[in-house]
């Protein structure tokens, strides 16, 4: 019933077939013989060939876990994983799923966020490939955040599967039948800039209308304060103090924010908009979201306009126009003084983030990085002395 392999004090036991009340005693006997032979400090049960197990098999595994604490299961197929999950085994020991392997070579990139790229793998499905090769915890966190948003009434694409990527790493699979991104609506001129901006702002307002529990996702104010603290040694003391004080004065706000909201992170399908890339979900004052949006459409391309084209697929001029139209619709005004005031507040937070990001990515040692950092410092030096609050 079992095959074994022993290496570096680790005994790997390969289970196969079906384990029931008849076969379980034999399996336990064979496992005990292997343990006596090798005296392993760690046991791995490879379940790749395991087809099914009853409670009799679960009891064998439980007794093994009690005798050898470092016992884990790997390559557990989804239907069997559900058994371990429902019976509480996933809380007592490590139980690793078996993941099907897919390739994204030649697939269309339809979205890109802070932590990965989104590919269309066929007409029905898309996959988000995470940049971190060991992203299983991050994938689980995103699924929980997506579920939270969905329960609160935000139209969200919820991943239904986790896969291993042939070239390395992991991905989350979503079902999105023939969906296209807001970016593609603009690129292919299927909708006008004003139409897409209106759809985008409607979705944004829906997100911001939802109140969340503080322990369900990150507090964006705390994150932004960390950005400011990072810059303490890179800004004049008076500018740093003003920056920190302005962010610190923003009151706690439990309204939901997406955190990485732009036209490649919203899909359009059969007249319905769906959010993707939910790992950045957070809560806070809307100015934090507006700062992120400003960066996506303007800030990151301020020094090199081609970055916007590479990132969003539209020209910097169109992207800037989209930002301004979105701001008008979000605030409900065309008053230039009001719009400029809010944009300046968004720029303070936005350029704080860009400056920190650039420094952390070795920007101080490259010409393009130094130009980026100097531009951020210049903008902050211009705006901070004239700003008394970041509230809108």
Q: How high is the pLDDT of residue 201?
A: 98
Torsions phi, psi of 92, nearest 5? -95, -25
Which residues are paired to 282 by β-bridges?
257
- C-alpha to C-alpha distances, 242 to 161, 337, 383, nearest whole angstrom: 46, 23, 10
Q: How high is the pLDDT of residue 113?
A: 63
Say what the alpha-carbon torsion angle 308, 314, 319, 321 is, to the nearest 10 degrees: 150
Q: How high is the pLDDT of residue 385?
A: 97
Fold match flag (3-98 vs 180-386): no
| Domain 102-175 class in CATH | alpha beta
Q: How high is the pLDDT of residue 1?
A: 63
3-state secondary structure of 48: strand
- Reported as a single tens digit per residue, the pLDDT across 111-145 is 666 678 888 888 788 888 887 767 777 788 888 88
| Whole-number Å distance between alpha carbons of 35 and 66 | 14
Q: Which residue has the tokens 């809560």?
A: 283
Q: Which residue has the tokens 């806070």?
A: 284
Q: Domain-by-domain residue ranges, the chain?
A: 3-98, 102-175, 180-386
Q: Which residues of 88-108 are buried (b: 16+ CB within 10 A; e: fewer)?
A: ebbeebebbbbbeebebeebe
| Whole-number Å distance between alpha carbons of 269 and 70 | 47
Pull the structure tokens for residue 191: 């909708």
Listed residue (76, 48, 60, 77) closest to 23, CA to CA = 60
Q: How high is the pLDDT of residue 279?
A: 83
Total number of residues shown for the chain: 392
Q: What is the pTM of this model?
A: 0.77
Question: Which architecture, in CATH terms, is 3-98?
Answer: 2-Layer Sandwich (3.30)
Listed residue (341, 277, 259, 233) closest to 117, CA to CA = 277
Q: Which helix (H) or strand (E) holds 351?
A: helix 336-360
3-state secondary structure of 234: coil
| Whole-number Å distance between alpha carbons of 190 and 195 | 10
Strands 116-120, 125-130: parallel, antiparallel or unpaired by DSSP? antiparallel
- Reported as a single tens digit per residue, the pLDDT across 265-322 is 998 988 899 998 888 999 999 999 999 999 999 999 999 999 999 999 999 999 999 9
Q: How high is the pLDDT of residue 230?
A: 98
Q: How high is the pLDDT of residue 359?
A: 98
Q: How high is the pLDDT of residue 2?
A: 81
Pull the structure tokens for residue 28: 């336990």
Show the low-confidence residues of the chain (pLDDT under 50). Answer: none
Q: How high is the pLDDT of residue 68?
A: 92
CATH of domain 180-386: 3.90.1200.10
């Amino acid at each position: 019933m079992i095959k074994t392999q022993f290496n570096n004090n680790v005994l790997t036991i390969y289970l196969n077939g079906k384990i029931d009340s008849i076969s379980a005693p034999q399996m336990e006997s064979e496992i005990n013989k292997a343990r006596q032979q090798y005296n392993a400090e760690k046991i791995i049960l490879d379940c790749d060939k395991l087809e099914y197990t009853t409670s009799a098999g679960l009891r064998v595994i439980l007794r093994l876990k009690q005798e050898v604490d470092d016992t884990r299961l790997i390559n557990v197929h989804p239907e069997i994983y559900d058994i371990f999950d429902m019976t509480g085994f996933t809380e007592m020991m490590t139980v690793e799923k078996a993941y099907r392997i897919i390739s994204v070579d030649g697939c269309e990139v339809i979205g890109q966020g802070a932590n990965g790229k989104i590919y269309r793998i066929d007409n029905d499905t898309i996959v988000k490939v995470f940049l971190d090769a060991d992203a299983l915890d991050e994938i689980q966190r995103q699924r929980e955040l997506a579920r939270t948003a969905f329960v609160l009434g935000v139209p969200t694409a919820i991943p239904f599967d986790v896969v291993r990527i042939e070239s390395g790493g992991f991905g989350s699979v979503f079902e999105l039948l023939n969906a296209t991104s807001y970016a593609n609506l603009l690129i292919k001129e299927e909708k006008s800039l004003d139409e897409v901006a209106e759809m985008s702002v409607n979705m944004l307002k829906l997100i911001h209308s939802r109140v969340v529990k503080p322990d369900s996702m990150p507090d964006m104010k705390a994150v932004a304060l960390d950005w400011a603290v990072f810059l303490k040694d890179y800004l004049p003391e008076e500018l740093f103090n003003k920056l920190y004080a302005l962010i610190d004065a923003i009151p706690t706000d439990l309204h939901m924010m997406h955190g990485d909201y732009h036209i490649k992170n919203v899909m359009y399908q059969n007249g319905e908009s769906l959010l993707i890339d939910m790992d950045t979900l957070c809560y806070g004052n809307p100015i934090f979201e507006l700062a992120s949006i400003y960066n996506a459409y303007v800030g990151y391309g301020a020094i090199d306009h081609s970055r916007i084209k590479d990132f969003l697929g539209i020209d910097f001029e169109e992207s800037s126009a989209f930002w301004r139209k979105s701001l008008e619709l979000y605030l409900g005004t065309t008053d230039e003084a009001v719009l400029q005031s809010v944009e300046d507040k968004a720029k303070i937070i936005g350029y704080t983030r860009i400056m920190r990001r650039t420094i952390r990515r070795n920007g101080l040692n490259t010409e393009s990085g130094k130009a980026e950092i100097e531009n951020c410092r210049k903008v902050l030096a211009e705006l901070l002395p004239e700003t008394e609050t970041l509230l809108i």
